[in-house]
Structure 1
Amino acid sequence: MSPFAKETLSKLIKFLEDEVYPAARVAHAQIPADPEARWKTVIPVIADLKEKAKKLGLWNLFLSKAHYPQFGVPLTNLEYGVMAELLGRGGAIASESVNCSAPDTGNMEVLARYASPEQQQKWLVPLLNGDIRSAFSMTERFGAHVVNVHSALELTICVVASSDATNIRTTIRQEGNEIVINGHKWYISGAGDPRCALHLVLGKSDPENKDKYRQQSIVIVPANAPGVKVVRAMSVFGYDDAPEGHCEVIYENVRVPIENLVYGWGKGFEIIQGRLGPGRIHHCMRSVGAAQQALDLMIQRVTNPAKKTFGKFLYEHGTVIADIAKSRAEIDAARLLVYSAALQIDKAKAKGALKEIGIAKFVVPSMACQVIDRAIQAYGAEGVSQDTPLAAMYAGLRTLRIADGPDAVHIQQIGQRELTRADALVKRQEEIRKREKVLAEHYKVKAHM
């Protein structure tokens, strides 16, 4: 780590221990119970933490200067990975306190890499300053439609999965000097926040294009534009995550100026690939931290004398010791996977790290879910209550196995990538066999394998 990274890490640890971790329960208590008021509240303790973080220089740590010279900080993705794990231990409040929380991080990366100077000045700078927040609008509702009706009782259904961005059905079209957007999205994180000022909306702009990866575009839509309707907040395992939320949003004849098109027509798929790569790793970094926090809580629970059962500590019963050991090993292995991916992004950018990113994305959240589940089991009923963070942590990590591409998609992509090595492996083995034959003849032996 560079001297700057070491100094920043030291300051971050102190800030988290002294300010952020103690504020977690306070922040939760400051969210109103009233169904309407909870969506209009800026949580006071988090606002105060942000001001403190800015003064300490603990701000926008995710944005590497190596990739974003104009806006970034002098940290590599690998260096940030160490810090993001610590942020993950503090939940959403920790990341937001230093302006490193999703979906803003990914949106800032999009605007820093692809937006015009005018778009950057209008939208990116306020995001970097923490003056506004944003939403990334990709996932769509009603992902199935009837393609053939054989009878009143027999339907052929074509499932349009949100995990395949080429299936997007929201329409984006140009009319004169305006862009018109129509679509129905849901699970749009950040759309409920009163500070949300813009949505980056992915839609289909050229459905007839023979290249299915050139059919989509991304447009900046002001959150208060006429025709933008936040229908409701979707719950995730019963959590609404107010005031940020994961909302169902309808775009009905929304009109924005042509200048709000990001990067160019047909560039949508390219942009989301650039956005989701680093974002997936940020999630994985934080997931390692969440798993570590769960293990720490589990160790405290099973060594607590007040929780003895039948005269024994909890760790003296059954497989608790084995669960602790397996959790330790799994966390450490997952951390190295994430570091490997971060290092590869530093070397070859996100496009050159697809394998490492994909492996981390389907391994790390599953690992974290498993570790958290073990901790919940150690706590019993308390583990699924609001009196520990474990239930909320589990809900978030289980959801992450779907977000930014479900496990099955990443597993299939990695498996297919591995299969492309088959011909080369066969040729290599044939060369070895040829040399083996020559050696066997030289030594006058028969090689049997």
Structure 2
Amino acid sequence: MDFTHSARAREYIDRIATFIDAEILPREAEYYAALQASSDKWAVSATIEELKSKARAQGLWNLFLPDTRYGAGLTVTEYAPLAELMGHSLIAPEVFNCNAPDTGNAEVLVHYGSDAQREQWLTPLLAGEIRSAFCMTEPAVASSDATNMSATATIDGSDVVLNGRKWWSTGIGHPDCRFVIFMGVTDPAAPRHQRHSMVLVPIDTPGVRIERMLPVLGYYDEPYGHGEVSFTDVRLPLEAIIAGPGRGFEIAQGRLGPGRIHHCMRLIGMAERALELACRRGSDREAFGKPLANLGGNRERIAHARIAINQARLQLLHAAWLLDTAGAAGAISELAQVKASVPSMAYGVIDMAIQLHGAAGLSDDTPLAGFLSAARSLRLADGPDEVHLGVIARAELARYRRQG
């Protein structure tokens, strides 16, 4: 395998890096100051909209989709360094229309949606005109096992009726969120992986209620947010079901593969920026007559961070290459490996950078606290570490059972 960037990827890397350095990073302080000063933090940001317009005009848009009908046509391996660059700023993914959960929802519609569903929801989503959310996790059950799901999507004649409560529905707080993808049980008597359906739900449908927004380590992640949402006798036509009843689990597995690796790509970018900030702080600040970098084993910590980031990147590129060449079925263990390892790596590097910044690292004066919250939450999002480790162990043990 060869991880040399293709000519197409190199061009995008240069353009994305230039845009982030020239347009996004200089506007971060302005963006967050305006957010904090606003009486309504759940509002569309003029800064983001301006940056989105510039990015789209430059063709730096929908880079995550390998299908040239909808996106840039990049492979997962080609997209990896671009997502890493976007990870340098928490606002960058939306600027390039590459933010979760919209990316995963777009992929669902591209691969499983009907023509009518794509026209109604995918077209404006890819235009950056609307946002979306994904409603799968539930507060009353262990949602790491999707077959535990208690929410229902019951067929009633020509309608499907939704009931249940979901939470950690990322993106539900955005004022432009116009629809959610809801996953519920349609036929409890069917085989375990054929019981569920996924349904497209306009956010203003009667019976849909945002009960509360949930903080992550004190961060509400405005204006996107993570919400608890109730569905009470929500009635929709059968045409709202994606790909037909009973295919929800199949769609979920197809959606989560690319989504997991995209998260890890961005986390490597967060770790890179955290290391850069740590090195700058360690070189510029002095204590006890020495630069901070020369105190208390900090040089070794910086060296270990560089090693860890490089190891994670190579592991991720290998998983991306397998996803491109063997498909999700051929990269099951490798996808689980990066999902289990990269968030922990990023958390460690970010934590080290916070320590070098002292109390400032805990504030909003740097992006480090937000990065730490993101890295920690991603040890649970898209499946907790334990689930991924179980997948890896099962695949590893199976090799030896076959030999025996």
The TM-score normalised by the length of structure 1 is 0.87
CA deviation after TM superposition for structure 1 residue 260, in Å: 0.4
Contact 1:190 1:245 in 2 (8 A): yes
How far 1:33 moved relative to its partner?
Answer: 5.0
Task: State the alpha-carbon separation in 2 of the partners of residues 165 and 237 from structure 1.
Answer: 25
Moved more, 22-31 or 185-194: 22-31
Percent identity of paired positions between Structure 1 and Structure 2: 46
Q: 1:20, 1:351 → 2: CA distance?
A: 37
Runs of 4+ residues deviating >6 angstroms:
none
Shift of 1:425: 4.6
- 1:25 corresponds to 2:29: yes
Counterpart in the other structure of 1:361: 339
For the residue of structure 1 that corresponds to 2:290, the secondary structure is coil
Match of 1:388 in 2: 366
Contact 2:182 2:199 in 1 (8 A): yes
CA distance in structure 1 between the aligned counterparts of 2:381 and 2:103, rounded to whole angstroms = 15
* Superimposed CA distance per residue, residues 315-353 of structure 1 (whole angstroms, 9 cap, x where no aligned partner): 221210110010000000000011111111111222221
Matched, 1:207 2:211: no
Q: Distance in 1 between matches of 2:37 and 2:17?
A: 32
Shift of 1:248: 0.6
**Partner in structure 1 of residue 296 of structure 2:** 318
Distance 2:213 2:22 in 1: 33
Alignment of 1:212-223 (within 5 A): 212-223=192-203
Query: Residue 30 of structure 1 aligns to which amino acid in structure 2?
Result: A
Displacement of 1:4 in angstroms is 2.9
Measure the CA separation in 2 of the matches of 1:286 and 1:6: 18
Listed as ranges, the matches of 1:21-420 within 5 Å are 21-31=25-35, 37-39=40-42, 41-65=43-67, 69-91=68-90, 93-143=91-141, 161-209=142-190, 211-304=191-284, 307-420=285-398
Q: Contact 2:62 / 2:70 at 8 angstroms: preserved in 1?
A: no
Shift of 1:138: 0.4
Q: Which SS does the other structure have where 2:287 is aligned?
A: coil
2:377 alignment partner AA: T
> Is 2:186–2:195's contact at 8 Å kept on the other side of the alignment?
yes
RMSD across aligned positions (CA)? 1.2
CA distance in 1, matches of 2:38, 2:269: 32
Separation in structure 1 between the aligned mates of residue 272 and residue 241 of structure 2, nearest angstrom: 41
Structure 2 counterpart of 1:364, one-letter code: V
Supply the distance in 2 between the matched residues of 1:224 and 1:419 (Cα, whole angstroms). Answer: 48
Contact kept? 1:183, 1:252, Cα under 8 Å: yes
- Give 1:72 shift: 3.2
Displacement of 1:13 in angstroms is 1.4
* Structure 1 residue 28, shift from structure 2 partner: 1.4
> Secondary structure of the residue that 1:179 maps to in structure 2?
strand
Contact 1:228–1:250 (8 Å) recurs in 2: yes
Could you tell me which residue of structure 2 aligns to residue 443 of structure 1? Answer: none
- 1:74 is displaced (CA, Å) by 2.4
Q: CA deviation at 1:9?
A: 2.0
- Residues paired across the two proteins, number: 400
1:284 CA displacement: 0.3
Q: What is the alpha-carbon distance in structure 2 between the residues aligned to residue 5 and residue 376 of structure 1? A: 32
Check whether the contact 2:214–2:228 (CA below 8 A) recurs between aligned residues.
Answer: yes
Task: Please say if residues 30 and 44 of structure 1, whose CA atoms lie closer than 8 Å, have aligned partners that are also in contact.
Answer: no
Gaps of 5+ in 1: 144-160, 427-449
The residue type equivalent to 2:210 in the other structure is V
TM-score of the aligned structures, taking structure 2 as reference length: 0.97
- 1:94-139, CA deviations, whole angstroms, 9 ceiling, x for partnerless residues? 0100000000000000000000111111111111111111000001
C-alpha separation in 2, matches of 1:114 and 1:11: 32
C-alpha separation in 1, matches of 2:272 and 2:217: 22
Aligned AA (1:194): P
